[in-house]
Amino acid sequence: MEKKRVFSGIQPSGIPTIGNYFGAISRFSEMQDENDCLFCVVDLHTLTQRFEPDVLRNRTRYLFALFLAAGIEMEKSTLFIQSQVPQHAELAWILSCYTMFGELSRMTQFKEKSQKNPENINTGLFNYPVLMAADIALYDTAYVPVGEDQKQHVEIARDICERFNSVYGSVLTVPQPVMPKVGGRIMSLVDPTRKMDKSDPNPQAFISLVDDKDTIIKKFKKAVTDSDSSVHYDTVNKAGVSNLMEIYSLATGKTIEETENIFAGQGYGVFKPAVGEAVDAAIEPVRRRVSELMENPALLDILMKRGNEKAAAMASFTLNKVKKAVGLVGQGFNSLEVK
- Using CA atoms, how far apart are residues 220 and 190, in angstroms rounded to an integer? 10
Annotated catalytic residue 323 = no
Q: Residue 62, exposed/middle/buried by CB under 10 A (0-12, 13-18, 19+)? A: buried
Annotated catalytic residue 113 = yes
Please list, in sequence order, all residues whose beta carbon lies within 8 angstroms of the beta carbon of residue 190, skipping any fewer than 6 positions away: 202, 204, 205, 223, 224
| DSSP structure class, residue 78 | E
Nearest residue to 31 via CA among 64, 62, 69, 76: 76
Task: Give CB contacts under 8 A, 24+ apart, made by 171-174.
Answer: 171/321, 171/322, 171/325, 172/137, 172/140, 172/318, 172/322, 173/5, 173/137, 173/140, 173/141, 173/142
- Using CA atoms, how far apart are residues 275 and 73, in angstroms rounded to an integer? 29
- Using CA atoms, how far apart are residues 144 and 173, in angstroms rounded to an integer? 12
| DSSP structure class, residue 175 | P
Q: Catalytic residue, from 3, 4, 113, 219: name it.
A: 113
With DSSP H G I counted as helix, E B as strand and the rest as coil, what are the percentages for the chain, rounded to 5? 60, 10, 35
- Using CA atoms, how far apart are residues 200 and 176, in angstroms rounded to an integer? 29
Torsion-angle region of 152 (φ positive above 0: left; ψ -120 to 50: alpha; else: beta): alpha
Q: Residue 249, exposed/middle/buried by CB under 10 A (0-12, 13-18, 19+)? A: buried
Q: Catalytic residue, from 181, 198, 323, 324: name it.
A: 198
Q: Catalytic residue, from 195, 219, 238, 272: name it.
A: 195
- Using CA atoms, how far apart are residues 28 and 21, in angstroms rounded to an integer? 10
Tell me which residues are annotated as active site.
113, 195, 198
